[in-house]
Amino acid sequence: MEIKFNKYRRIYFTLSGLLIIGSIIVLLIYGLKPGIDFTGGTIMELEYVGERPSSQSILSEIEEFGLGDVVIQQTGEKGVILRMKNINEDVHQQILDKLSGAEDIEAEGGMMIGIVKTDINEIRFESIGPVIGDELKSKTKIVILMALLSMIVYIALAFRRIQRPLRSWQYGVASVLALSHDILIPLGIFAVLGKFYGIEISIPIITALLAVLGYSINNTVVVFDRIRENLLRRGEEFEKIVDISLTETLSRQINTSLTTLFVAGAIFFFGGETLKYFALVLLLGIGAGTYSSIFLAGPILVFWRKFKK
């Protein structure tokens, strides 16, 4: 017995439509917050050996360097992360010296012998020039465009043999619609996260989005493959064939997503700071992708068929 997926398609379309429109709206209003990978800038992660001073006192200590906006975030028990514009190595060292309460050991006659750094360790330092950021931005745009294009070409080729009752390009359009659903929703969530929690779009996040792209197409392809197979073997109504195909592939869709969600979840909870948002994109994107491959891709085809009649 097949599950009547297509019966409730209005509900799915409305739900997904609202989510997509919501995502587009927050993207338009808040935009995405690009990280220093793309804008240039500095991230400096420090750990205090002794007591950690308040963010306010750190700010006032480094005020003299004229760094513009400095964002300070506390991590762990003794760590702080400083974000600011791109700085050169001299300023970097001066900031370190200042914050560590370093004293120059000067000999008579002003000759400097050495520096004693007392109470901070530098865990991580990244400073990226604006030129590199711009280059990366344009490079990333090309990668995203190429990936999207190749997926569309691939879908067109993969379904060129199904001509009845819909054209192969219509399958292509349906999978691209499902795909934009899977990409837009995580992006919308990151626009909100960026606005309220200062989470920035970094290279790992882009990488995860592109992985979601491949994954989402993969899920849709499995459903369409089954529809193709059933169309050749059965003579029933198109709507019924889509329902049968969705029912047959349902356990696979859920199970494959679950295993991938397990590993993405493991990375999110245990994999450390750098991979955290990478894993979050995967969780969101794969979740959305599984939903769309079951509730959107097939029903869109059925809707289109009815619409044409």
Partner 1 sequence: MFLCYKYIAMKRKTYIILLGIIILTFLAGNFAYPKYIKSVFPNFWDIDFKLGLDLQGGTHLLYQADLSNIDKDNYSSAMEGLRDVIERRVNMFGVAEPIVQTQESGDQYRLVVELAGIDDPAQAIKMIGETPFLEFREQKDEVETQTIIDKQKEIQDLNFEEVQLIENWELAFQDPYFKSTLLTGEYLEKAQIVFDQQTGTPLIGIQFNDEGSKIFEEITTRNVGKILAIYIDDVAISTPVVNEAIAGGSAQITGEFTVDEAKELARNLNAGALPVPIELISQQTVGPTLGKISLEESLKAGIIGLFLVILFLIIFYRVSGLLASFSLVIYVFVILALFKLIPVTLTLAGIGGFILSIGMAVDANILIFSRMKEELKKEQSFSVSLEEGFRRSWPSIRDGNITTLIVALILFGLGTSFIKGFAFTLIIGILVSMFSAIFITRNLLRLFVNTKLEEVKWLWK
* 28-57 residues near partner 1, rule: CB under 8 A: 45
Of these, 19, 91, 102, 123, which contacts partner 1 (CB under 8 A)? 123
Nearest distance in Å: CB 217, partner 1: 5
Distance between CA 277 and CA 212 in Å, rounded? 13
Cβ contact 159:221 at 8 Å: no
What does the per-residue mask of binding to partner 1 show for 81-120, with x meaning CB under 8 A? -------xx--xx--x----------xxx-x-x-------
Phi/psi of residue 66, nearest 5 degrees? 60, 55
Phi-psi region of 110 (alpha: psi -120 to 50; beta: other; left: phi over 0): left
Cβ proximity to partner 1: between 192 and 230 the closer is 230
The yes or no reply on residue 233 touching partner 1 (CB under 8 A) is no
Q: Cα separation of 154 and 106, whole Å?
A: 69
Binding mask 124-163 for partner 1 (x = CB under 8 A): xxxxxx-xx--xx--xx-xx--xx--xx--x---x-----
Minimal distance, residue 26 CB to partner 1, in Å? 26
18 lies in the site for partner 1, by CB under 8 A: no
Q: What is the C-alpha separation between 61 and 240, in angstroms, rounded?
A: 70
The continuous run of DSSP H or E covering 23 comes out as helix 9-29
Write the binding mask 254 to 273 for partner 1: x where contact by CB under 8 A, - elsewhere. -xx-xxxxxxxxxx-xxxx-
Give yes or no for residue 2 binding partner 1 (CB under 8 A): no
Binding mask 181-220 for partner 1 (x = CB under 8 A): ----------------------xx-xx--xx-xxx-xx--
- Residue 198: which residues within 8 A CB-CB, separation 6 or more? 33, 71, 73
C-alpha 155/C-alpha 151 separation (Å) is 6
